[in-house]
Homo-oligomer: A and B are copies of this chain.
């Protein structure tokens, strides 16, 4: 009941491997699972943890993100007293700027941290997908007497050679070590770029780090804290599956994983729905002769052709004779008569002309950018 956590979402990740998908948008704004954007998952987690004061740190290319979030109404974050605060670089400089790293962003927005009244702060990146109750994480944090708690997962699917951060954690939950972007990770615990601590402590840490000339939270500040051992830093294992969206392939795989009912049930728990921007579409319409199998279909779709093992976003049109297999088709894209798509990702408002064929090689889905005609 007590609202004692302020949330902060960092959307400034540079995820080059997402290529065309993030050319015009932040990772946080990448469309997911038929009707969502990446940020919806972390935002909904916060809402269901009774967090009602949420800051969102944005970088360049945040217009589609702003457009998606609007006034925050869909997340009940449109209040006067609390709600959503967009923290773009431009608030502090004359022009649109760029944060060097999370620490830079925290320093620039130190006033947001100071003005908030909640005792604790939970900070998360936006390229990681999981179901989490931050209030439960706080309970554990308090129980452990921790100064800072880091979220991690033991799941193998999120380990990457040459990338990511991995934690060495003692049996009692204390974090000993962190390795950043190791060629081959030594430790079995993938750090999920999500942590929780007292708000006042974070302000102190940021102040100190800035005077040390640091820019990066994990690679510089956190590593130093682990070396100095002045603080008790604990790990909290994320319950359930987690996904990291950091490349076209992992984007594709993550989406496809949700053709599995267990994954859907875990993330789309009806008592804690994933909230997103509404479109007031009518239900999907299946015509006579439609064939759909093992697919997620959003509202507003009109299906007259064949769809297999695919995810169709809102308002996708599939004309008679068209065949879509193993594909992710984003909002308002139209696939015309007798076209064939396999193993590909079509961004928003693409037009696939009659008889076009686009067959991606296994493991390397083809990406077609927004608004193109093929």
> For chain A residues 263-292, which have a beta carbon within 8 Å of chain B?
278, 280
Q: Is A293's CB within 8 Å of the partner chain B? A: no
Q: Which residues of B contact A278 (CB under 8 A)?
A: 80
Q: Which residues of B contact A63 (CB under 8 A)?
A: 91
Q: Is A239's CB within 8 Å of the partner chain B? A: no
> For chain A residues 90-104, which have a beta carbon within 8 Å of chain B?
90-91, 94-96
Closest to A71 in B: B71
Closest to A61 in B: B94
Closest to A72 in B: B71
Closest to A96 in B: B95
Q: Is A78's CB within 8 Å of the partner chain B? A: yes
Q: How does the 8 Å CB contact mask read for A288-301 relative to B, with 1 for contact and 0 for none?
A: 00000000000000
A94 near B96 with CB under 8 A, answer: yes
Q: Which residues of B contact A90 (CB under 8 A)?
A: 96
Q: Is A70's CB within 8 Å of the partner chain B? A: yes
Q: Which residues of B contact A96 (CB under 8 A)?
A: 90, 94-96
Q: Which residues of B contact A80 (CB under 8 A)?
A: 278, 280
Q: Which residues of B contact A280 (CB under 8 A)?
A: 80
A91 to B66, CA, bound (A): 12
> For chain A residues 219-248, which have a beta carbon within 8 Å of chain B?
none
Q: How does the 8 Å CB contact mask read for A80-93 relative to B, with 1 for contact and 0 for none?
A: 10000000001100
Closest to A277 in B: B80
Looking at the assembled complex, report how far the CB atom of A2 sits from the nearest CB atom of chain B, in whole angstroms.
23
Looking at the assembled complex, report how far the CB atom of A45 sits from the nearest CB atom of chain B, in whole angstroms.
24
A90 to B70, CA, bound (A): 17
Closest to A63 in B: B91
Looking at the assembled complex, report how far the CB atom of A276 sits from the nearest CB atom of chain B, in whole angstroms.
14
The residue from B70, B91, B94, B95 contacting A71, defined by CB atoms under 8 A apart: B70
A280 to B94, CA, bound (A): 31
The residue from B71, B91, B94 contacting A78, defined by CB atoms under 8 A apart: B71
Q: How does the 8 Å CB contact mask read for A36-75 relative to B, with 1 for contact and 0 for none?
A: 0000000000000000000000000001000000110100
Looking at the assembled complex, report how far the CB atom of A33 sits from the nearest CB atom of chain B, in whole angstroms.
22
A70 to B278, CA, bound (A): 20
Q: Known A-B contacts: A71-B71, A71-B78, A96-B96. Give 11 more (CB < 8 A).
A: A63-B91, A70-B71, A71-B73, A73-B78, A78-B78, A80-B278, A80-B280, A90-B96, A94-B96, A95-B95, A95-B96
* 14 chain-A/chain-B pairs, Cβ below 8 angstroms: A63-B91, A70-B71, A71-B71, A71-B73, A71-B78, A73-B78, A78-B78, A80-B278, A80-B280, A90-B96, A94-B96, A95-B95, A95-B96, A96-B96
